[in-house]
Amino acid sequence: MKLAWIAALIGLSAANGANAQTLEYDCDTQAEHFSVLKAVQQGPSYKASGSISPRAIFPSKTYATIGVIDFEPDDKSWRARLGLTALVIKKREVVMATLEITRAGKSEEPVMLGSIEDFRMGGTYPISVTLGDSGGTATIGSNTVPIKLAAQGNINVSIICSGGEFLFTNLNIGG
């Protein structure tokens, strides 16, 4: 009888441990500021996933309002950044999803995922980035694009927001 009780406790602890790997991050920063939640993954495969919900825009003339997942190796030779940019254009809130790649300090043309009408303030969208030694994928909402980057070694995975509020839920940045 005691063995069954101990086994049940171990099973419950393991289930609670699995749930503890995901978190909720209410990333809320004023205009001209940013906030970062960071983890380091060691590979050979790398992943960050969860849901993102744009909640508020604090307009700035200098910086866009963003909520992103950012992957960058220790040597900073490249960066992959997937997320939402929110702007106020002619008193209308506009939200768009982009994948931005930087190699050797040079930014490539951002890839837009879906259309502007696909994303709205207050909506909640799945978001994930996966990478490995032969590339990976970026997904936001129902849109997926390939990422042509080889990831090896330590990769810094960051959740970043700037100039607004983004709620990240079911967030797993530990791999």
Cis peptide bond N-terminal to 44, omega within 30: yes
Higher pLDDT, 17 or 150: 150
> Residues 12-34: what's their mean pLDDT?
68
Supply the pTM of this predicted model. 0.85
Q: Residue 86 is inside which H or E element, if any?
A: strand 78-89
Summarised one tens digit per residue, pLDDT across range 60-99 is: 888 889 999 999 999 999 999 999 999 988 889 999 999 9
Q: Is the pLDDT of residue 31 over 70?
A: yes
